[in-house]
């Protein structure tokens, strides 16, 4: 059970109702995470806006979802692991590749470099060095990719912390954390 109220349309302000309606349209349902965040219209605008902005960036939807599952597993966020595994599969990433990404691995050199960098950012709280950035460039990723990987990490930390700290009920098919597997 969530530690805070999950906002429903009847309790929402007009602005929040409009955002939740957009979210519902994108997913075909309104995921519990967004209902939890809807307690703050500013936080909901921030989160939903970030998803929208990054969805139009240079980092592909597939890589974005692989980054998300790696971070979710690292942070023991069952909600995000379940949601982004489903979204990754919908974006065309194979089940095998999603499982590998959960562990921070990929057979694709660019994806592997991006996942290593994303997890290093999480593990070191952003304290990466020149060699870490150069490894991304050596894998063929440019500055736009590097900045967007950072943005994906930041967004996923936000969603992980919301779901873990507030104990938001998972409403996607469950996926086992590696540590729990």
pLDDT (tens digit per residue) in 80-130: 999 999 999 999 999 999 999 999 999 999 999 999 999 999 999 999 999
pLDDT value at position 1?
Answer: 84
Question: What is residue 180's predicted lDDT score, i.e. its pLDDT?
Answer: 55
Cα separation, 115 vs 117, in Å, equals 5
CATH topology of domain 61-165: AhpD-like (1.20.1290)
Domain with CATH 1.20.1290.10 in the chain: 61-165
- pLDDT tens digit sequence for 8-32: 988 899 999 999 999 999 999 999 9
Backbone angles phi, psi at 63, to 5 degrees: -65, -40
Beta carbons within 10 angstroms of residue 123's beta carbon? 11
Neighbours of 18 (CB within 10 A): 12
Q: What is the pLDDT of residue 9?
A: 86
pLDDT digits (tens, 9 = 90+) for 69-81: 999 999 999 999 9
Q: Cβ–Cβ contacts within 10 Å for residue 32, how many?
A: 19
- Residue 101 or 1, more confident: 101
**HEC per residue, 37-89:** HCCCHHHHHHHHHHHHHHHCCCCCHHHHHHHHHHHHHHCCCHHHHHHHHHHHH
């Amino acid at each position: 059970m969530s530690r805070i109220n999950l906002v429903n349309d009847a309790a929402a302000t007009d602005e929040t109702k409009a955002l939740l309606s957009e979210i519902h349209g994108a997913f075909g349902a309104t995921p519990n995470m967004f209902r939890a965040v809807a307690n703050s219209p500013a936080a909901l605008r921030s989160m939903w806006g970030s998803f929208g902005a990054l969805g139009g960036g240079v980092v592909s939807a597939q890589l974005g979802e692989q980054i998300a599952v790696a971070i979710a597993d690292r942070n023991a966020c069952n909600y995000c692991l379940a949601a982004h595994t489903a979204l990754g599969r919908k974006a065309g990433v194979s089940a095998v590749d999603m499982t590998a990404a959960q562990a921070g691995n990929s057979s694709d050199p660019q994806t592997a470099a991006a996942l290593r960098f994303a997890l290093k950012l999480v593990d070191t709280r952003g304290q990466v060095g020149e060699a870490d950035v150069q490894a991304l460039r050596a894998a063929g990723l440019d500055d736009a990719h590097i900045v967007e990987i950072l943005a994906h990490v930041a967004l996923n930390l936000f969603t992980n912390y919301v779901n873990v700290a507030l104990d938001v009920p998972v409403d996607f098919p469950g996926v086992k954390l590696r540590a729990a597997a």
